[in-house]
Chains A and B, each alone.
Chain A
Amino acid sequence: MSDTAPSASSLGLTEKLEWLARPGATALVVSGLITVFAPLILTVYVSFFDDKVIVFPPQGYSLAWYGSSIPQFISPLLTSLKLALLAGGLSLLFGVPAGIALSRYRNRGTQGIGTLLLAPLTIPGIAIGLAIYVFAITVELRTELPLAGSMALLVLAHVLITIPWVIRICLASLTNHDRVTEEAAASLGASPPRVIWRVTLPAMRNGIVASGFFAFIISFENLEISLFLVSPGMSTLPIAILQYLEYRLDPLIAAISVLQIVGIGAILFALGNFANLGRVAR
């Protein structure tokens, strides 16, 4: 009995704190959600404004900006699509085998290579962009290969930053993969490449589809690295949007942005069936 008396009074205090903490936590939850979603919702709202100058309240609403935004940005949009398709495809070609090797053979050597292959995720994009540009110019001066400003270099730079995503998703898709089927195929006489082609790759099909789309999105959205590597007159969609926003803010730029958000949302929604999105994004 003597034990319960002090603990009961302290419980009274913590209950009071609890009573205060719950609405406090709810306020934090609400503020956090507003900070993430308010700008996106506002962009959608503004894209329907009739007037070219954004004023509140708007004079009227229209869908006209959606019609005129795509022709205005068609050239950077096509460049970004081409770039993202090439980079996505190539990073599958390089990243999927690496993912298989990293999941199969675990030792100190492969762990070191794994860290190296994931390094592009943690190095600032602006430093990667500068380094690749400077490197390309240096090689160009020695060999006279036209590297700087070429589409090939831009694609390779995007492959560099999309490979870590492909590897991570492939590793995740192989965590529950049972090697027994591979050993069975090998013991029945299948050559190692045939085992990969007929057993391993089909088993990781969902992961490959998901990582291809993620590589596409990461490349499509990249700004910092492309900034250093585009040639004069060439532009990607994120660069074009940045340059437009430095001078103007109007419903047109909101409309092209909303189209982009909707496109990415559609891809992610479709991918929901293929991969655990929350896990992939981490």
Chain B
Amino acid sequence: MTLAAATPLPSDRREKGHLAAASALLTPATAVVAVMLVAPLLLLLRMSFNRFDPTKLMVEAATAENYTRFFGDAYYTDVMITTVVVALSSTAFCLLFGFPIAYRLARWQSRWKNAVMLLMVLPLFVSSTVRSIGWMVLFSHGGVINLAATSLGLGTMTLMQTTTGVIIGIISINLPYMILTLQSVVEGIDENLEQAAESLGAAPARAFWRIVWPMALPGTMIAAVLCFILAMNAFATPVLIGGPRFHMMAPLLYWEFTANNNWPFASALALILMTTTLVMTVLANKLILGRQARA
């Protein structure tokens, strides 16, 4: 009895060693994130309650006027509505195109599969600036689509500086994320389950909707939320395809910062964008996955 109390338990000593080792290994990275992300974001939150002054630029204050200005002015709420509409519709199209591609890719067996996977990964690592160039060539006034439309007698047709053009550009950028995430989701579903359903008399479509889709839903939600977040934060595509008169939240924030020097309002915009995105993703998860859990 006394022996056990006198010598510390080996597992206890090991715990302490683990704690020391874990903190030694984790501290450098955590310090970078604390100094470069947590502290700056907290400052941004504080700054969003400051007051903007045209001559002195920023005055220390504790006012909610940057937030009331945003929600009270139809110009700004319209920018938020445009951003949400673009994000939701591009995500819907990513799902529509992404699921069949991911499904076929997952069930495909070929020695070319690795090469095709590489082709899918490549666009993810090419900047959105570069990936907008092709659309600018297609959409512009002397561009391919306009030429085709005029030669077919459909009149002029330009997608530059339109919401449709921006949505297409964002689908193009986000679709590979959707495909790669869904492909792994479908690969995780045993193909035998579908075959079993079919051998029991279910048509392939029925087997898909009753077996594959419910199992794929949680992973599909993760992919959709990722696409939605990326679209909410899009910067280069709305600037390049949308042009100076098309407004989404990220370009608006940058413009308030550079052109108007209004740091307090830009800070409020950043926080409104982050909060809206967070609230919408949490709500979507609750609604869709919650319903599935009850079913």
Q: Are B118 and A269 in contact (CB under 8 A)?
A: yes
Q: Does B133 contact A (CB under 8 A)?
A: yes
The contact of B37 among A11, A97, A128, A221, by CB within 8 Å, is A128
Closest 3 interchain pairs by CB?
Answer: A39-B134, A32-B97, A131-B40
Cβ-neighbour of B133 out of A31, A97, A254 (below 8 A): A254
Asked if A43 is at the interface of the complex by the 8 Å CB criterion, the answer is yes
Which chain B positions have C-beta within 8 A of A33?
Answer: 101
Does B30 lie within 8 Å of A125, measured CB to CB?
Answer: no
Tell which of A116, A125, A260 touches B126, judged by Cβ atoms closer than 8 Å. Answer: A260
Q: Contact: B120 with A278, CB < 8 Å?
A: yes
For A123-134 the 0/1 string (1 means CB < 8 A from B) is 111111011101
Contact check, B267 vs A105: say whether CB atoms are below 8 A apart: no
Does A110 reach chain B (CB closer than 8 Å)?
Answer: yes
B89 within 8 A of A: no
Contact A15 B32, beta carbon cutoff 8 Å: no
Query: How long is the Cα–Cα vector from A37 to B135 in the complex, in angstroms?
Result: 11
Q: Given A98-B28, A254-B133, A277-B118, check contact A192 B172 (CB 8 Å).
A: no
- List chain B residues, Cβ under 8 A from A135: 39-40, 43-44
Contacts A15-B203, A241-B130, A257-B133; A160 near B100 (Cβ below 8 A): no
Digit string of B204-225 for contact with A (CB within 8 Å is 1, else 0)? 1110000000000000000000
A-B contact pairs, 13 of them (CB 8 A): A94-B28, A104-B22, A109-B22, A110-B26, A117-B29, A125-B235, A126-B270, A157-B36, A217-B125, A238-B130, A249-B133, A249-B136, A277-B117
Q: Is B159 an interface residue (CB 8 A)?
A: no
- Interface with A: B2-10, B67-75, B138-146, B283-291, which one? B138-146
Chain B residues within 8 Å of A97, by CB: 24-26, 28-29
The CA of A79 and the CA of B101, in the complex, are separated in Å by 38
Which bucket holds chain A's interface residue count? 35 or more
Across the interface, A246 reaches (CB within 8 A) one of B30, B240, B253, namely B240
In angstroms, Cα B251 to Cα A223, docked, is: 12
Contacts of B274 in A (CB 8 A): 123-124, 127
In the docked arrangement, what's the CA distance between A75 and B290, Å? Answer: 53
The yes or no answer to B153 lying at the interface (CB within 8 A) is: no
Interface size class of B (residues with CB under 8 A): 35 or more
Docked-complex contact B184 and A279, CB < 8 angstroms = yes
Closest residue of chain A to B244, judged by CB? Answer: A246
- Return chain A residues, CB-CB under 8 Å to B131: 39-40
B100 x A32 contact (CB < 8 A): yes
> Chain B residues near A128 (CB, 8 Å)?
37, 40
CB-CB under 8 A from B270, the residues of chain A are: 124, 126-127, 130-131
Chain A residues with CB under 8 A of B229 = 122
Residue B246 CB within 8 A of the other chain: no
**Interfacial residues of chain B within 90-136, with CB under 8 A of chain A in the complex:** 96-98, 100-101, 104, 114, 117-136
Among A94, A242, A272, the residue within 8 A (CB) of B32 is: A94
B236 contacts A223, CB within 8 Å?
A: yes
Known: A117-B33, A160-B36. A43 touches B130 (CB 8 A): yes
Residue contact A11 to B203, C-beta cutoff 8 Å: yes
Complex contacts, A260 vs chain B, CB 8 Å:
126-127, 130
Q: Which of A21-29, A62-70, A173-181, A201-209 contacts B (4 or more CB under 8 A)?
A: A21-29
For window 216-260 of chain B, which residues contact chain A by CB distance below 8 Å?
229, 232-233, 235-236, 239-240, 250, 253-254, 257
The complex places the Cα of A63 from the Cα of B84 at a distance, in Å, of 42
Known A36-B176, A125-B233; contact A264-B126, beta-carbon cutoff 8 A: yes
Q: How far is the CB of B250 from chain A (nearest CB, A)?
A: 4
B17 — which chain A residues lie within 8 A by C-beta?
A: 192
Q: A40 to B120: give the CA distance in the assembly, Å.
A: 12
B205 to nearest A CB, angstroms?
5
Residue of A nearest to B223 (CB): A282
Let me know if B100 and A101 touch, CB within 8 A. Answer: no
- B13 CB to closest chain A CB (Å) equals 14
Indicate whether A146 reaches chain B with its CB closer than 8 angstroms.
no
